[in-house]
Amino acid sequence: MKKSIVFAMAAAALLLAGCKEQSTPIKVCIFPGDYPDPAIMRDGKDFYMTHSNFTYYPGLLIWHSTDLLHWEPVARAVQDQSYSIFAPDICKVNGKFYIYYPTSNGENYVVTADRIEGPWTEPVKLQVSGIDPGHAIDDEGNRYLYTNNGFVAPLSADGLTITGQSRKVYDPWQYPEHWETEGMWLESPKILKRGDYYYLVSAEGGTAGPPTSHMCVVARSKSVIGPWEDSPHNPLVHTYSADEEWWSKGHGTLIDDVDGNWYIVYHSYRNGFHTLGRSTIIESVEWTKDGWPVLANPNGAEWVNGGLQDSYDYLCQFDNPIMWAKWEPGFDGGTLMTTTAVDTSYEITAKFNIKEGGRAGLYLFYNEEANIGVQGTDPTFYVRIKNDRNKATVWKSTDGSNWTEVIKDADVSTYHHNVYKGFFALRPSLFTAGEAKVESFSYNKL
């Protein structure tokens, strides 16, 4: 069976209508759950996307689509690294794929591949400071790497070496002083060429904190290194009120399809569910007569909850390793494998075979301080966890038929970044230590 994600028929109909005529502006959550800092590119009819993986490894899970609706995981570009990875950028130059990314120790790296499926090279360190690297190339083939706070540095022709000093070429757009944000925090530079202009899409306001913190802003220039002119329509994407369904919208990339339709892909927290992490959303964009991107119909287009259909329970089975990543710091002297929850209410069940001296268990895991679950040592051990809108109930069993309730309706609504930091998510997680084996795992939307 082909392991692809199939989205709701309503979402498909709207997006396909938009692709043909751009007559139906769309807003679709294409990746619900922990899919932050989306980086997307198009290669002909093929779209590729990757996201931050932080301390979950292997990292930089790459997805492929031909219609922006159905996505298939195809590779993980980084097998292991000592530090957290976040805010990547992905591009293709002269037949080679590149992913640029920063790490939590303040360094920047690049990995490359001739095919998107890999093999991907070992990380190459770039001698440039800053975070959120964004690749840029001009009409003459000169390559550059943007980083946060409006800095840019020249790249070698092969994209693997910084060849000069980083310098500041862009000052942030000044949002109104009364807006409630975490701070200016200019980051996430994404650059594209359309017509005579290069467009720089940046994030401001901080990526968590208050609901109105984040935003996408746009500037343009006839040179890839500026000077930059801010859009009179800024911000392109923003949460204006805590009453909105999606909070902290930002970190966006402009992308077009082969039919000439344009979209902005960005991340956002679902209102009331920071525990899920930042989801990836796509929204229709149109261009003004004087060449600025604006949302196609910000007030008239209804949110379509793309969601994931029943195929997700197949996709995240434990025998599909591409959907699982190890919590690199380790946990309780054992190994913790995690996957992403995509629903506000769901149930997970695991069966373990355990030999003498071994341990195993099932968790909803944010970090070492914020988690809920149970371990056991019985030769055959089952755990079931129901997360019903941030209320978690845990059961255990030795035969899969007779269940003992261990925890009932525990409040996990605070298990997120604004309380525990880290920019992680509350993830279904399988724990093993010693001689223990995962026999099966299931995920079911409630």
Whether 331 and 281 share a structural domain: no
The DSSP result for 375-426, as a single string, is EE-SSEEEEEEEEESSEEEEEEESSSSS-EEEEEEEE-TT-SHHHH-SS---
Preceding omega of 227 cis (within 30 degrees of 0): yes
Q: Are residues 173 and 279 in the same domain?
A: yes
Of 257, 275, 304, the one marking the end of a domain is 304
Asked if residue 312 belongs to a domain, the reply is no
| Same domain? 56 vs 122 | yes
Active site residue 187: yes
Q: Are residues 15 and 91 in the same domain?
A: yes
Both tokens assigned to 24: 């139906």
Tens-digit pLDDT profile for residues 175-211: 999 999 999 999 999 999 999 999 999 999 999 999 9
Co-location of 190 and 219 in the same domain: yes
Known catalytic residue at 259: no
Burial code (b: 16+ CB inside 10 Å, e: under 16) for 125-144 equals ebebebbbbbbbbeeeeebb
Cα separation, 208 vs 252, whole angstroms: 15
Sign of CA dihedral 227, 142, 185, 231: positive
In-domain check, residue 41? yes
Q: How far is CA 272 from CA 170, 341, 363, in A?
A: 35, 15, 21
End residue of a domain, out of 255, 274, 304: 304
For 191, half-sphere exposure in the C-beta direction (CA atoms, 13 angstrom radius) is 28
- Position 12 scores a pLDDT of 44
Share of the chain above pLDDT 70, in %: 91
Q: Is the pLDDT of residue 10 over 90?
A: no
Catalytic residue of the set 34, 89, 132, 187? 187
Give me 404's structure tokens: 């003992």
pLDDT per residue as tens digits for the range 91-135: 999 999 999 999 999 999 999 999 999 999 999 999 999 999 999
Residue at 309 is within a domain: no
220 & 103 share domain: yes
Q: Judge if 355 and 251 occupy the same domain.
A: no
In a domain, 2, yes or no: no
Are residues 293 and 366 located together in one domain of the fold?
Answer: no
Check residues 318 and 364 and name the one with the higher pLDDT: 364
CA 182 from centre of chain: 20
| Same-domain pairing of 123 and 36 | yes
What is residue 16's predicted lDDT score, i.e. its pLDDT? 42
Is 365 domain-assigned? yes
Per-residue tokens: 26: 């769309």
Catalytic residue, from 34, 37, 204, 343: name it: 37
Q: Rounded to 5 degrees, what are φ and ψ at 45?
A: -90, 0
pLDDT at 303: 61
Q: So what's the pLDDT on residue 17?
A: 42
Pairing state of beta strands 436-445 and 143-147?
Answer: unpaired
Query: What total number of domains does the chain contain?
Result: 2
Residue partners of 260: CB distance under 8 A and separation at least 6: none
Question: What is the per-residue DSSP string for 61-102?
Answer: EEEEESSSS-BEEEEEEES--SS-B-S-EEEEETTEEEEEEE
Q: Is residue 315 part of a domain?
A: no
In this structure, the answer to whether residues 96 and 159 fall within a common structural domain is yes
Instruction: Say if 403 falls within a structural domain.
Output: yes
Do 106 and 243 have their domain in common?
Answer: yes
**What is the CATH number for 385?**
2.60.120.200
For residue 363, the enclosing domain spans: 321-445
3 lies in a domain?
A: no
Q: Is the pLDDT of residue 3 over 70?
A: no
pLDDT at 277 over 60: yes
**What's the CATH number where 77 sits?**
2.115.10.20
Question: Is residue 146 a contact partner of residue 128, using CB atoms and an 8 Å limit?
Answer: no
Choose the final residue of a domain: 278, 304, 330.
Answer: 304
Q: Check pLDDT > 90 for residue 51.
A: yes
The predicted pLDDT at position 27 comes to 85
pLDDT category of residue 70 using cuts at 50, 70 and 90: confident
CB atoms near residue 305 (< 10 Å)? 15
Pairing label, strands 427-433, 359-365: antiparallel
As to burial, measured by CB atoms within 10 angstroms (0-12 exposed, 13-18 middle, 19+ buried), residue 318 is: middle
| Cis amide linkage into residue 293, ω under 30° from 0 | no
**What is the per-residue pLDDT for 388?**
99
Is residue 345 packed enough to be buried (19+ CB in 10 Å), middle (13-18) or exposed (0-12)? middle
pLDDT tens profile 295-331: 998 776 656 555 444 456 667 788 889 999 999 999 9
Q: Is 297 exposed, middle or buried (0-12, 13-18, 19+ CB in 10 A)?
A: middle
Over residues 40-52, the mean pLDDT reads 99
> How far is 138 from 142, CA to CA, in rounded Å?
5
Q: Which two tokens stand for residue 69?
A: 């609706």
Specify whether the backbone of 421 is left (phi greater than 0), alpha (psi in -120 to 50) or beta.
left
Number of residues in the chain: 446
Pair 233, 185 in one domain: yes
